[in-house]
Structure 1
């Protein structure tokens, strides 16, 4: 994969993140507001752990698909 392919893949991935995030907020606005209220009461360490787990799963998916 050359440098141009990398940037195209990165831009595509970023675009897909916006599509998925936007769709969730558009389809379930009240549930997203409720979730945000719940997150505000969670300890930062739990949110960090969840983010790290999500990042690890995302890397694993990319590794298996692109590997």
Structure 2
């Protein structure tokens, strides 16, 4: 169980690191655009991201990961 948590966190850090390493200016523009959204829209975006992540984890477990 704990190994799955470490695996998931490691993959998130790899992806985050790649984005910051390969496109730092894009991240900066994204953060500026994100700050222009209302708090409710940011909350909705976060909930949508969580739902997509949940579906992806469920699909991976269903497929045998």
Determine helix, strand or coil for the equivalent of 2:49.
Answer: helix
Segments of 5+ residues of structure 2 without an aligned counterpart are none
Using structure 2 for the length normalisation, give the TM-score: 0.88
Determine helix, strand or coil for the equivalent of 1:56.
Answer: helix
Q: Deviations over 1:4-56 (max 9, x none)?
A: xx100000100100000010011001111111111111101111111111111
Distance 1:39 1:49 in 2: 12
> Which residue is 1:35 aligned to?
30
> Which residue is 1:3 aligned to?
none
Aligned residues: 62
Q: Which runs of 4+ in 1 moved over 2 A?
A: none
Using structure 1 for the length normalisation, give the TM-score: 0.86
> Offset at 1:61?
1.2
